[in-house]
Each structure stands twice: as C-alpha cells, then as structure tokens.
Amino acid sequence: MPERRMSFNLHSAQEREHALYHACVMAVREGFPYLTVGEIIDPPHEMFDAALARQIALHMLIRKFNVPKRRVARMQERSRESVYRALRIIDDRCENPVFLAYYAAMAERADAALLSIFEEAA
C-alpha cells in the first residue's frame, strides 16, 4: 500500500505538531501492523492493543519530541488526566527491557518519518 504524503506549513507550530503526531502514529502502526491508522488515533473501546498503540504515540510525542502535555491534551481533545495516565502506563512498561527495545525501534521510525515529512515540506 503506498504511503500517503503529508504537506504542511513549516512555519506553523500547530501544523508542525500535527506532523509530529502523524510521524508517531505511522511509526507505531509499523509496530502494530494489524491495526489501522484510524484504530490507533481513535481506539475502539474493546481494542486494548489499539489503546496501547495510541498511548505509545502520545508518549513519543511528549517524551521524545517535547510537545507540552497541555498542548497534546488540547490537540487530542482529551483530558490532561488521560494524557498523564498514558505517560505513566508507557513509562512503567519502558522499565521492561524487551518493551523498551521495541519502543526504541518505533521511536527511530518516528524520527525517520518526521525527517521525510520535513524534507517534503521544505
């Protein structure tokens, strides 16, 4: 399936943050290939793996790319508490070396996806 390209205004903080989120979601999707992008962005209530994938994407957005938690909560239309809960869950899971290695691989893919997005936008 061909990858959909994303274009945006490099000078818009809001569009840069959406590009960061897009890069995180695409990287996490590679780690959960059986999930759709839509399931990661808005996980169905019964799909715990989709909820975990979304938590990983949010964690990367905040911890790796330093997007402020309040901004992420606003951007995702979620409560700050749900964002904090996602961070705690993934922080706890990262204490497991196997999960941490898997997370690190997804984070590297997010870097590569972001670089591609920024190169295309330039």
Q: What is the CATH number of the domain that holds 98?
A: 1.10.1750.10
**Domain total for the chain?**
1
Residue 6 lies in a domain: no
The C-alpha atoms of residue 85 and residue 69 are separated, in whole angstroms, by 11
Q: Of 73, 69, 72, 33, which Cα lies nearest the Cα of 53?
A: 33
Q: Please tell me the predicted confidence (pLDDT) of residue 10.
A: 59
The residue segments making up the domain with residue 109 are: 13-120
Residue-wise pLDDT for 72-93, tens only, equals: 999 888 889 999 999 999 999 9
Residue 88 lies in a domain: yes
Task: Please report where in the chains the tokens 């961070």 appear, as a residue.
Answer: 87
Rg of the chain on CA atoms, in Å: 14
Residue-wise pLDDT for 32-45, tens only, equals: 999 999 999 999 99
